[in-house]
Amino acid sequence: MTGEFADRLTSIEKKWQEKWENAEVHTTERTDAEKYYVLEMFPYPSGNLHMGHVRNFSLGDAPARMKRMQGYDVMHPMGWDAFGLPAENAAIDRDVDPEEWTRDCIDNMRGQLKRLGFSYDWDREVATCDPEYYKWNQWIFQQMLDEGLAYRGESKVNWCPSCETVLADEQVEEGLCWRCDSVVEQKDMEQWFLKITDYADELLEDLEQLEGWPDKVRDMQENWIGKSTGAKIEFPVQESDRSLEVFTTRPDTIYGATFMALAPEHELTEEIAEEDDKVAEYREEALKRDTEDREEKSKAGVFTGRYAENPITGEKIPIYVAEFVLTDYGTGAIMAVPAHDQRDFEFAQEHDIEVQEVVRPSGDHSYEEEGAYEGDGKHINSGELNGLKKEDAIEKMIEELDDEGLGEADVNYQLRDWLISRQRYWGTPIPMIHCDECGTVKVPEEDLPVELPDDVEFTETGNPIETSESWKEVECPECGGDARKETDTMDTFIGSSWYFLRYISPELETAPFDIEDANSWMNVDQYIGGIEHAVMHLLYARFFTKFLRDKDMLGEDEPFERLLTLGMVNHPAYNCPEHGWIFPEEVEQENICEKCGREVEVDVRKMSKSKHNVVDPTELVEEHGADTARVFILRASGPTNELDWSEEGVEAAEEMLERVERIVKENEEALTDERPSLEDAELFDRIMASRIQRAIEKVTKDTENYDFNLAIDEVDRLLSKLYWYEQQGGKDKVLSHGINTLLKLLSPYAPHITEELWDRIGNEAFMLEEDWPEVDEDLIDEEAEEIDAYFDRVSSDIREIVAMIEGEPEKVKIIKASDWKYKAGEKILKAIQGTKDVGEVMDKVLDGDLQEYAQQINDEVVNAVENPGSYRRDFTGLDLEEEALELNQERFEDEFDVEVAVESEESSDEDKASRAQPGRPAIVVK
């Protein structure tokens, strides 16, 4: 490998990127052709691409290029998920305007993307921070408001009393403010919500339609929606006129409810805390902890001194406040049945609460050793439910609750309405106005977009928008009186919930998108992104799509037909016991820290700035070329698997591309676009012509299936075969057919070098304007392929033996199996298709001339019956093997540079001759 090729490659890439841009070769127009909409999740403009971006975008570009060549109308756009907290933090920390910072980041990352040569239609670029874009966030919000899907209600927020601001969850670190280390409080605040729960059933049921999505993602969405069927039950609170409403999926276990548990946020908890210092103190501490911490403290709780009444038994039940009870599911109050729920059991053990068994295990069960019994069984200690199994008992109990007015059947969802309010500056302003006379009213549609103020102060306290009095104060559109604009901005997920539609009509001023065009392009055929977006983003995009469908703006139920979630990119990380994480260049041989001489711990981890194990895409491209980066990152691993970075892999990718260049240059004068003819063809001509067709078939299939690593492997094998064919002195037309095909098959993965070589051999059209190769059935020669495969198989066996002997081989004997073995093998293969009984197979195989080999055949039959899938996969018929040996004998001699003798098992005097089998001759190396 030489630096000259890398330098030449980077020069070639810049040349063709300019030509593509000038010719607008990646521009998309809708015609009568079949469409293909491929989309990678758009990035947040953080300033620089990382290797995860490069992998994500390379995964989308390869099929986009192939589909263009197959004649599809391809939509392949790019944009920016540009709102978010980092820009606001930059404004505070660096004293820069968030928009200016964001625009600079976009400009830099756009340049990096162009340098990688992705085939994006940049005319369709969008940025969610553009007023022309977020106008339609506001418009869709108001449409939802009109339909009763947007509303204002109270919700708790993370509040820092020192900074006087709301904190995002990621800004709370172990209960403290990330900026000032003050204790974070939970505070009630009026905020805006979207009623995604109105679509809960459809969002759940339509997961079955998403056959092109990974099962893991569908399961994650199903669990997030969290539909549960059960019953709602009222438990009266003693010495009070109120009751506790609980939801339970097991109303049949109500006889075993021995305590009630309330969430710290529950209104009864708050009421009790006002009178009980112990409850108040516990509640205050619990509210400081996040959900994960609270679930870890599943045994933590406090008795309230209050009791509820079991509505079925009339028994008195103590009421506790428990951290494991959350308001995210159910009502924030539970009936606890410690005998049959492990979490309830552990809490009961900790607080010395009675455990009442109401379901009898089918076998022995020790509560002391095994904990709660959560399986099925017959009910006991349960009144009229005694003797019933679970489902019958649930049905009977719900009937009783309903008849007595104590409860009813109910469905509960873990999914909660979407809280979209953010007390931040860098987001979409919520287009509402607060008037003392008229209440909360919409900003008139003709006044959209409500743009962000530009006279705000960025400090470490409060919402910056609140500092702009000129922006806040406004005339009420209803009464003309003094009013105030809403100062909350929208969750950034709003902008990413429909951006795939804006790409279709990026400059339309009268609507978020053109309905006719949207119905022509939607839905997205292939969506690509990280597994971290499997729940929230994808769920919100599905919600928006269904809402817009209900507004007669879309004809699709779902936004994304197929989903590909990519694995992480890993790189060795080095941890010094004295200096912590250090850069790879600070590690000497044998993993020694150059700073202190101590041995460092090496671990392969996800690329991360904090671990100092990041590979800079810009440096990689400048050093090795964009094509090298793309080929390596797509070949190193399947797209859904984790990818371990390897300098050797990068060099191998570069070497492959240089070999492609070399074979073209060596043969460019003889290359032609004429169809190859196999008249008077030698075996190697037939092999090569057929091999090209198989490569077309496999690369096309693998690219369709996103098995890009397998596709590139196949291209590399074709390249090696072309070098072999070149050495055989093959026909120019066959070699030309192979090289032309090679360049086209490689072009989705290495578009620059293939474009350069395509142009070099006299083609005037861009590669994307050429047709994708199609299999020529007339050039497929299965017999030639078998003979070639036979050569590869036997050569591999010879190499294994040569590697085990001392010295250089002088002669190789290839010993063909006895004729009877072919006849018996054919009969065995046929017989095991109909039966797996050894006796029946033997009866079908043995006849007069095979009887003398019965014992050997019996051993073969047993093997075939036990391993029918793998038995004799390399079986070769007698005539074909004899032809293969005759035609390949000289080839074997050339390959190993020794004398090669071919003999039969019957005539051989070698001890190993009896090992010969059809398709796997015995090998003797002398």
Residue 487: Cβ-neighbour burial (10 angstroms; 0-12, 13-18, 19+):
buried
Q: How many structural domains is the chain composed of?
A: 4
Do residues 336 and 351 lie in contact, with contact meaning Cβ atoms separated by under 8 Å? no
Establish if 57 belongs to a structural domain: no
Phi-psi region of 375 (alpha: psi -120 to 50; beta: other; left: phi over 0): beta
Mark whether 815 and 857 lie in a shared domain.
yes
Distance from C-alpha of 351 to C-alpha of 282, rounded to nearest angstrom: 15
Distance from C-alpha of 724 to C-alpha of 699, rounded to nearest angstrom: 20
Do residues 840 and 861 lie in contact, with contact meaning Cβ atoms separated by under 8 Å? no
Rg (CA), the chain: 36
Distance from C-alpha of 315 to C-alpha of 493, rounded to nearest angstrom: 48
Please give the helix or strand (H or E) that residue 94 lies within, else none.
helix 85-94
Backbone φ and ψ of 428, nearest 5°: -80, 120
- What are 108's two structure tokens? 């830099």
- What are 545's two structure tokens? 């799509």
In order along the chain (926 residues), what is the average pLDDT of each group of 10 residues?
Answer: 83 97 95 97 92 94 98 98 88 88 96 97 98 98 98 86 74 77 83 96 97 95 94 95 95 97 94 94 84 74 96 96 87 96 95 95 87 93 94 95 95 92 94 97 98 90 90 96 96 96 97 97 96 90 98 97 87 76 77 81 70 75 95 92 85 97 94 84 93 98 97 98 92 94 98 98 96 96 92 92 87 92 86 85 81 83 81 75 88 90 91 89 92
Distances (CA, A) of 840 to 614, 795, 856, 872, 875: 63, 37, 16, 19, 22
Mark whether 243 and 174 lie in a shared domain.
no
Distances (CA, A) of 489 to 486, 499, 532, 547: 8, 18, 24, 21
- What are 314's two structure tokens? 């009339």
Phi-psi region of 281 (alpha: psi -120 to 50; beta: other; left: phi over 0): alpha
Give the relative orientation of helices 838-845 and 854-866 as an angle to the nearest 10 degrees. Answer: 130
Question: What range does the domain containing 163 cover?
Answer: 155-190
Mark whether 235 and 367 lie in a shared domain.
yes
Mark whether 771 and 838 lie in a shared domain.
no
Establish if 899 belongs to a structural domain: yes
Those residues whose C-beta lies under 8 Å from the C-beta of residue 780, and which sit 6 or more positions away, are 690, 693, 694
CA-based nearest residue to 322, from 288, 279, 292? 279
Residue carrying the six token digits 């455990």: 355
Q: Which of 383, 413, 443 is the last residue of a domain?
A: 413
Establish if 787 belongs to a structural domain: no
pLDDT at 1: 43
Distance from C-alpha of 330 to C-alpha of 347, rounded to nearest angstrom: 19
Distance from C-alpha of 664 to C-alpha of 667, rounded to nearest angstrom: 5
DSSP structural state of residue 871: T
Establish if 254 belongs to a structural domain: yes
Mark whether 306 and 408 lie in a shared domain.
yes
Mark whether 395 and 258 lie in a shared domain.
yes
Strands 432-435, 301-309: parallel, antiparallel or unpaired by DSSP?
unpaired
Determine the 3-state secondary structure of 875 from DSSP. Answer: coil
Taking the CA of residue 304 as centre, how many other CA atoms within 13 Å lie in the half-sphere pointing to its CB?
27
DSSP structural state of residue 423: -
Q: Which of 142, 170, 190 is the last residue of a domain?
A: 190
Distance from C-alpha of 174 to C-alpha of 172, rounded to nearest angstrom: 6
Mark whether 169 and 253 lie in a shared domain.
no
Those residues whose C-beta lies under 8 Å from the C-beta of residue 483, and which sit 6 or more positions away, are 433, 434, 435, 436, 438, 473, 474, 475, 476
Mark whether 730 and 878 lie in a shared domain.
no
Distance from C-alpha of 718 to C-alpha of 652, rounded to nearest angstrom: 16
Mark whether 254 and 381 lie in a shared domain.
yes
Do residues 865 and 841 lie in contact, with contact meaning Cβ atoms separated by under 8 Å? yes
Those residues whose C-beta lies under 8 Å from the C-beta of residue 810, and which sit 6 or more positions away, are 898, 899, 926
For the chain, the straight-line distance linking the first and the last C-alpha, in angstroms and rounded, comes to: 37
Mark whether 169 and 257 lie in a shared domain.
no
Distances (CA, A) of 23 to 16, 18, 758, 766: 10, 9, 17, 10
Distance from C-alpha of 57 to C-alpha of 60, rounded to nearest angstrom: 5
Mark whether 165 and 298 lie in a shared domain.
no
Phi-psi region of 648 (alpha: psi -120 to 50; beta: other; left: phi over 0): alpha
Mark whether 268 and 399 lie in a shared domain.
yes
Do residues 812 and 899 lie in contact, with contact meaning Cβ atoms separated by under 8 Å? yes
pTM of the prediction? 0.87
pLDDT at 148: 97
Q: Which of 381, 413, 445 is the last residue of a domain?
A: 413
Distances (CA, A) of 286 to 244, 246, 342, 813, 920: 21, 21, 21, 81, 72
CATH classification of the domain holding 252: 3.90.740.10
Taking the CA of residue 761 as centre, how many other CA atoms within 13 Å lie in the half-sphere pointing to its CB?
25
Establish if 742 belongs to a structural domain: yes
Distance from C-alpha of 188 to C-alpha of 159, rounded to nearest angstrom: 9
pLDDT digits (tens, 9 = 90+) for 270-304: 999 999 999 999 998 888 777 777 777 678 899 99
Per the DSSP assignment, residues forming a β-bridge with 247 are 232
Determine the 3-state secondary structure of 281 from DSSP. Answer: helix
pLDDT at 611: 64
Determine the 3-state secondary structure of 771 from DSSP. Answer: coil
pLDDT at 609: 66
CATH classification of the domain holding 666: 1.10.730.10
Distance from C-alpha of 60 to C-alpha of 525, rounded to nearest angstrom: 11
Do residues 693 and 781 lie in contact, with contact meaning Cβ atoms separated by under 8 Å? no
- The total number of residues shown for the chain amounts to 926
Number of other residues whose CB lies within 10 A of the CB of residue 586: 16
pLDDT at 830: 85
User: Which alpha helices (H) appear in 612-646, and where do they start and end?
Assistant: 617-624, 626-635
Distance from C-alpha of 528 to C-alpha of 500, rounded to nearest angstrom: 12
Establish if 398 belongs to a structural domain: yes
Look up residue 905 and give its amino acid: E
Establish if 340 belongs to a structural domain: yes
Establish if 641 belongs to a structural domain: no
pLDDT at 834: 82
**Edge-to-edge order in the sheet of strand 185-194:** 165-167, 150-160, 185-194, 418-419
